[in-house]
């Protein structure tokens, strides 16, 4: 294989892995919350963006390192998720058809956050980025990849592996899956369903925050990324199967790799249409998702 072809192959693999992992993470966060609480979080894109913007603020205005900013944002995100759950989300746990109520509530959150970003960050800059945590390049054969993107890839895949392990082997993870599958039966088996709701909301939201930070480390971004991410995460959740973390992982990776591979042979625009087309076809054959509950 020539160096040029190897370069393109390796760049395709790295793009597929990084994009796929980040989108899988965010979609996993969305699906955990939906699967447990029946909460279709339409504001997931805004949370994603909030994490990235706050990290940017810490690095650009306060001169923090990206590592310190990332850790701080994760901790703040955890607190914010707990506060939201306490103040807003738990009030609707016992509401009939709460998924519709949650849809409306999170739509409101989307508008509020979007408005705040428009009045603040949109005036300060048209584009944002985080300084790399690790400088330099690593050569994989003829393919140079920045060490920072390697770190993002490693963290994304590592967290996905941890999440999978948690859900499969840890008691809390098994309780989450039990509630995903049948909350009444889980309650009868002694699972504290309300506590699992809280855990799932905080865990899912924290994963979305992490996705935002990782994206900001790998790419420059602007305010439009919230909308793009929201649509993509929902599409991945629906195709993968609402409530299925495995589905989110698999479909997220398919998304990342489809975009990368198709763009070699056609344009990046065609790549975008191709993955959407593939998702429509999958829905025709599996309308409940690839890995339905």
Place of tokens 């390697």: 150
Closer to other proteins at the Cβ: 149 or 177?
Answer: 149
CA–CA distance from 73 to each of 124, 218, 240, 253, 263 (Å)? Answer: 20, 16, 29, 26, 34
Per-residue DSSP letters for 123-160? HH-S-B----SS-SEEEETTEEEEHHHHHHHHHHHHHH
Q: Is 1 a residue that touches other proteins (CB under 8 A)? A: no
- Structure tokens belonging to residue 50: 């909030």
Q: At what angle do helices 44-60 and 98-119 cross, to 10 degrees?
A: 30
214: closest CA among 17, 32, 4, 11?
Answer: 17
Chain residues 261-280 in contact with other proteins, contact rule CB under 8 A: 263-264, 267-269, 272
80-88, 92-100, 178-186, 214-222 -> range binding other proteins (CB under 8 A): 214-222
Task: Give the separation between CA 173 and CA 180, rounded to whole angstroms.
Answer: 10
Task: Give the separation between CA 233 and CA 49, rounded to whole angstroms.
Answer: 13
66 and 132 in contact (C-beta within 8 Å)? yes
Closer to other proteins at the Cβ: 139 or 188?
Answer: 139
Closer to other proteins at the Cβ: 89 or 233?
Answer: 233
Closer to other proteins at the Cβ: 146 or 164?
Answer: 146
Closer to other proteins at the Cβ: 27 or 225?
Answer: 225
Task: Give the separation between CA 105 and CA 90, rounded to whole angstroms.
Answer: 12
User: x/- string (CB under 8 A) for other proteins, residues 56-95?
Assistant: ----x-----------------------------------
66-74, 94-102, 153-161, 220-228 -> range binding other proteins (CB under 8 A): 220-228
Query: Which of 225, 248, 254, 279 touches other proteins by CB under 8 A?
Result: 225
Which residues partner with 140 through β-bridges?
143
How many residues in the shown chain lie near other proteins by CB under 8 A?
A: 44
Smallest separation, CB 116 to other proteins (Å): 11
Task: Give the separation between CA 85 and CA 201, rounded to whole angstroms.
Answer: 7
User: x/- string (CB under 8 A) for other proteins, residues 8-37?
Assistant: x-xxx-xx--xx------------------
Query: Which of 4, 87, 188, 284 touches other proteins by CB under 8 A?
Result: 4
Query: Which of 65, 99, 118, 192 touches other proteins by CB under 8 A?
Result: 118
Chain residues 149-208 in contact with other proteins, contact rule CB under 8 A: none
Closer to other proteins at the Cβ: 13 or 72?
Answer: 13
42-50, 192-200, 242-250, 256-264 -> range binding other proteins (CB under 8 A): 256-264
Number of residues assigned to the chain? 293
Task: Give the separation between CA 250 and CA 74, rounded to whole angstroms.
Answer: 25
CA angle 233, 166, 76 (to 5 degrees): 60
Q: Is 126 a residue that touches other proteins (CB under 8 A)? A: yes
- Structure tokens belonging to residue 86: 């306490």
Task: Give the separation between CA 132 and CA 123, rounded to whole angstroms.
Answer: 24
By CB under 8 A, name the binding residues for other proteins.
4, 7-8, 10-12, 14-15, 18-19, 60, 118-119, 122-129, 137, 143-146, 215, 219-225, 227-228, 259-260, 263-264, 267-269, 272
């Amino acid at each position: 294989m020539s160096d040029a072809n190897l370069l393109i192959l390796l760049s395709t693999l790295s793009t597929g892995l990084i994009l796929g992992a980040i989108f899988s993470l965010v979609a996993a966060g969305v699906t955990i919350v939906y699967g447990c609480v029946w909460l279709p979080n339409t504001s997931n894109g805004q949370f994603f963006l909030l994490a990235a913007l706050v990290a940017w603020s810490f690095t650009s205005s306060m001169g923090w390192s990206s590592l310190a900013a990332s850790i701080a944002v994760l901790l703040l995100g955890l607190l914010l998720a707990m506060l939201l759950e306490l103040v807003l989300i738990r009030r609707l746990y016992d509401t009939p058809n709460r998924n519709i109520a949650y849809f409306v509530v999170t739509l409101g959150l989307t508008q509020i956050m979007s408005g705040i970003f428009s009045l603040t960050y949109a005036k300060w800059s048209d584009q944002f980025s985080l300084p790399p945590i690790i400088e330099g390049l690593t050569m994989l054969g003829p393919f140079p990849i920045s060490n920072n993107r390697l770190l993002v890839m490693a963290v994304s895949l590592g967290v996905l592996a941890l999440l999978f392990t948690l859900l499969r082997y840890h008691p809390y993870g098994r309780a989450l899956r039990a509630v995903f599958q049948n909350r009444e039966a889980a309650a009868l088996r002694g699972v504290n369903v309300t506590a699992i709701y809280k855990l799932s909301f905080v865990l899912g939201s924290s994963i979305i925050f992490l996705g935002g930070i990782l994206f900001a480390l790998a790419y420059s971004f602007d305010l439009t990324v919230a909308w793009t991410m929201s649509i993509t995460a929902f599409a991945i959740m629906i195709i993968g199967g609402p409530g299925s973390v495995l589905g989110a992982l698999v479909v997220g990776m398919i998304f990342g790799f489809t975009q990368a591979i198709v763009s070699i042979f056609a344009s990046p625009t065609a790549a975008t249409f191709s993955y959407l087309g593939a998702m429509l076809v999958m829905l025709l054959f599996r309308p409940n998702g690839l890995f339905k509950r």
